[in-house]
A and B are shown apart, each in its own frame.
Chain A
Amino acid sequence: MSTDAVISAEALTKRYGSVVAVDGVDLTVRRGEAFGFLGPNGAGKTTTLRMLLGLVRPSSGRASILGRPPGDPDALRRTGSLIEGPGFYPYLSGRTNLELMARYAAVPASRVMPALEAVDLAGRAGDRFGSYSLGMKQRLGVAAALLKDPELVILDEPTNGLDPQGMRDMRALIADLGDQGRTVILSSHLMQEVQAVCQRVAVIDHGHIVTVGTVEELRGQPDLEVRATPSDTALATLRALSYVESVRPDGGHLVVTVPTRHTADVTRELVAAGVAVTGLRRTERQLEDVFFDLTSQSGSASDATQEPSHV
């Protein structure tokens, strides 16, 4: 395991009877990085995070969080988390809820208002949690995660229930947490959210880690979309170029995989071959495209199994 690993998991597995919710997950999250945990609903994201936080015992495998075993009080006191929605007392105000949590976390009550301000909830701090909108409840959950001034922040679907402005604010907050040097794990099924915030990403599907890499690595190099006539001459010319990795017709244009530094060379060679280039643009693959490619290979993103819950 890497010495700068904030989280390490080896062959982490959770079975519920015959259902394998998480199957041999290996994972390393390094100190100071924003790490995305991407997967369809029921893929095993939340169960993995629950195991890391000690809420759920692994069936097999091992893990450490901040150098301690999962559920270790010292590690939990240095970790802020929001797992699968906020859980608070509906008859208490947002502020009182956090003051109670501060007692359980053994942190001073003076941390409460800064945490509420960080999620823009200070103005409604005195209102009962039960009267909060879904987005406000979610923000209170994030405030509770920040209460301990944690070095590790684990957020599971933090933008659930937020309106577009709330989602943007939440992304900015998560980016700020990363800028402050905290390690952030962001679990989500929203690709844009992860792409906007995280440096590295693990994709999980059907309990398996499908891939791990930087966002750039996963997205790969951008393709070149070429519109040219005559297209058969253009196709033959491009296929003859040694630095072109692949060419394929796609509708009325050609999709060319070629290193960015050879873009000008492509144009020059086509013109030299007598081809009229009418359009040329770089098309970047979105994380969403990568995600669907990966999950369709490992199973499907749409027929994800539901994680079992207790009866």
Chain B
Amino acid sequence: MSDNSATSMVAMTRAELTKLVRRPASWVLLASAVTLSQVFGYVIPYLSYRSGPGAPMTDGQTPEQLLAGTLPAEVVTNTTSAFPVFAGALALVLGALVSGTEFTGDTVKTLFTQGPRRSAVFGAQVVALVVATGVGVLVLFATCAASGAGIALAEGQPMDWPTLGALASGLGSGWLVMAMWATIGAALGVLLRSVALPIGLGVVWILGIENLISAVAGTSLEALKPLRDVLPGVNAGSLIVSVIPAQTGPLPPGVQDAVGGGRGLVTVAAYVLVAAVAMVAVVRRRDVA
């Protein structure tokens, strides 16, 4: 890449980040992700713990187990365990919004006639999405850490944090998973040149079809296992399971070790690459009508 190309790529990435920061939907999605992680990771378990052994929604766990699940030692689990499915769906929505609105708002025409290379415009969009998901992961981590520390202080529990290595591998893997869903969303936005359709298809896929295939492949129809083992959500789940501490409590749906952490890592990274390349390849060739 020449100096000029690198400079313009940086300028375009900054422009994409500006759009992301100023877009109200980005904040709505981030707020939704934080709310979900707080409610399911801290609020419900802590209220159940405070309600004693007979409380509803304990999923068979003792009050001590519920409390342990909210303490700082579990911050990586609480931050990342929703990434393969629920938070991933929000990342996919963000990706589809970022790329799809360029077509529905007709801004792609204005962008392309300014003179940048088409691949650079959407390359910058992918980079901005990866950065944005990284920031989102850090925000989720910070809020989870704050809640965990608050509960530990309130309950007089030890403030045992994961090691730096565990934090780095956990948050790094979580970032990769979120970046994968965001890039897939962006690729769908470009392929379908819209917003509603990629969001609808993507969310149905993540929340419904993947889980259905996984369930069927794991029970009645083993012939589907090879297909299951290449699904993005399944690999994301396997990657996340490999970087969180051994679990005593239940994990969210879709988070299970189906293919192993190593294969999950490679597959998730491959999805990021394939989605980005497909998106750029399509946008380079297609008419802007």
Given contacts A89-B107, A100-B19, A106-B8, contact A56 B288 (CB under 8 A): yes
- In whole angstroms, what is the CA distance A204 to B289 when docked? 19
Assess the A89–B105 pair: CB atoms within 8 A.
Answer: yes
Would B287 and A56 count as touching, CB distance under 8 A? yes
Q: What's the least CB distance linking A284 to chain B, in Å? A: 37
Please tell me if the beta carbons of A81 and B113 are within 8 angstroms of each other in the complex.
yes
Q: Report B-chain residues with C-beta under 8 Å of the C-beta of A141.
A: 110
Interface locus among B10-18, B143-151, B237-245: B10-18
Q: A106 to chain B: which residues have CB within 8 Å? A: 7-8, 11, 115-116
1/0 contact string of A41-61 vs chain B (CB within 8 Å): 000000000100111110000
Assess whether A103 is interfacial by the CB under 8 Å rule.
yes
Pair B193/A310 contact, Cβ less than 8 Å:
yes
Given known pairs A96-B18, A103-B11, the reply for A88 and B107 (CB within 8 Å) is: yes
Verify B14–A55 contact, CB threshold 8 A: no
Cβ A92 vs Cβ B116 within 8 A: no
A162 contacts the other chain (CB 8 A): no
Instruction: Select which of B7, B19, B121, B287 is within 8 A of A55 by beta carbon.
Output: B287
On chain B, the residues within 8 Å of A144 by CB distance are: 110, 114
| B interface size (C-beta, 8 A) | 29
Q: What chain A residues lie within 8 Å of B105 (beta carbons)?
A: 87-90
For A147, the closest partner residue in chain B by CB is B114
Q: Does B273 contact A (CB under 8 A)?
A: no
Bound-state Cα–Cα, A144 to B112, Å: 12
B289 and A56 contact, CB distance less than 8 A: yes
Question: Is B226 part of the contact surface with A, judged by Cβ < 8 Å?
Answer: no
Interface contact B15-A103, CB-CB below 8 Å: yes
Question: Cβ of A79 < 8 Å from any Cβ of B?
Answer: yes
Q: Kindly state whether residue A86 has any CB partner on chain B within 8 Å.
A: yes
Contact A55-B22, Cβ < 8 Å, known A103-B11, A104-B12, A104-B121: no
Asked if B50 CB lies within 8 Å of chain A CBs, one says no
Residue of B at shortest CB range from A100?
A: B15
How far apart are the CA atoms of A307 and B88 in the complex, in Å? 39
Question: Please, could you name 10 A-B residue pairs with CB atoms under 8 Å apart, sorted by A?
Answer: A55-B112, A55-B287, A77-B114, A79-B113, A87-B105, A100-B15, A103-B12, A104-B115, A106-B11, A309-B289
The list of the 3 closest CB pairs from A to B, nearest first, reads: A87-B106, A76-B115, A77-B115
